[in-house]
Amino acid sequence: TSTHLGGLKESLRSPGSPWPAELIVLGPGGSARQEVLRKIQELSDSVHRDPFMVADLDMLASRHATFRQALPRVWPFYAVKCNSSPWVLRVLAALGTGFDCASQVELEQVLSLGVAPSRIIFANPCKASAHIQYAARRGVKLLTFDSEEELTKVAKHHPEARLVLRILAEDSKSRFPLNTKFGASLEACGHLLTRARDLGLAVVGVSFHVGSDAQAIADCRRVFEMGCGAGHHMSLLDLRGGFPGVFEEMASVINAALAQDFPEDTGVEVIAEPGRFYMASVCTAAVNIIGKKAVLGPGGHRRLLYYLNEGQYGSFRIFLREPTPRTPIVVKEFLSEPHLFPCTLYGPTCDAFDRLSLEEVWLPELDVGDWLIFPSVGAYTCSMSSTFNGFPPAYVCYATVRQLRSLLEMAP
């Protein structure tokens, strides 16, 4: 595996931060959750109780192993947009994954690790011309498209590209449906494939958002036949991301569909672009209650408003897109089973819309200074954060066992 770690002692902290610059190497029997609780105890003795996350890099490696076992024919190209932390990218580079990039900055991030251009797909169907030119200069040849206008740009700026046609697929089961923005209809594919040929461009494959049923793979078979009829050598199927529901069940459906429509003897290479599946369970966040207000709701029932030092403008913006609110784990001991109240969780900014969900959650009565833990917040949290109103997002520290650290140290 070709990757340059740039030194394991590289500092990922801001000047003056009290956090360690190195990876936290967990001892025998240690866990990321224990590290979260240890850090909470440490910060509870200080007036500075800033929000933080602990990223379990071993969980990331475990998710990679699970993906490969469940989908042995499918090689993952990790979606960088999901979480672009240098340590996350380094671990995945060392494990040999490919990478799905959507911009020049993401290309630069991955290429700076020493990842070969052949392990990258520039998977944004609508790219700036300057970004296409950068990909051409750096030898990144695998690009997606879904329109004639995109073909014109590629023909001008990257004629040696190997193109992947993104098609529309039914994606109502996907966490984030994308069909309103991207994808070519089956009716348009024949024209696009012919137009690519006339422009001297090579189309090598088809992609779709996997948040759909197996019919999409059968549709790709039809587009492969269209491509071959137009003179293209079709050799790549890209399932993209958006794995919904129970992963093992979806993997079984995908494997059966591949066996039927793209059996192994066809020689078709199959890739996917998972993001959330890899990252969701990797990070655990700890936030502090910095304010509290009790109000009377309809019928005189008591409601509680908790103001946290992290919110949707920080690491929790993605929460507002989720169908059900996140109920955090309370880090506090009670002498008996506490009474629960309907609670609204607000972030720290002055924006009244800075709340963690539109619905209330049920929590016991807590005090200013108490801590809440949110597990499984590794996907689309850090990468969507901002410093609105002067509040920095949660700091992230990275934990690993000694074996994974050894893998990183040995990577060339």
Phi, psi of 114 (to 5 degrees): 90, 10
The two tokens of residue 309 are: 């030092």
- Residue 11, both tokens: 């500092």
Q: For residue 231, what is the DSSP state?
A: T
Nearest 5°: CA angle at 128, between 126 and 131?
115
Identify whether the C-beta of residue 355 lies closer than 8 Å to the C-beta of residue 346.
yes
Q: Name all contacts of 301-304 with Cβ < 8 Å and 24+ positions apart.
A: 301/342, 302/341, 303/341, 303/342, 303/343, 303/344, 303/360, 304/341, 304/342, 304/343, 304/344, 304/363, 304/365, 304/366
Would you report the helix, strand and coil content of the chain in percent, each value rounded to 5? 35, 20, 45
Tokens of 14: 């801001």
Catalytic residue among 228, 350, 382, 397: 350
> Residue holding tokens 């799905």?
100
Active site residue 350: yes
Bridging pattern class, strands 302-308 and 283-296: antiparallel
Q: Residue 364 is inside which H or E element, if any?
A: strand 361-364
Structure tokens at 269: 């290479």
Instruction: Decide if 201 contacts 141 (C-beta within 8 A).
Output: no
Return the residue matching tokens 């630069």.
Answer: 108
Q: DSSP letters along 239-292, please?
A: --S---S-HHHHHHHHHHHHHHHS-GGG--EEEE--SHHHHTTTEEEEEEEEEE
Task: List residues with catalytic annotation.
Answer: 350
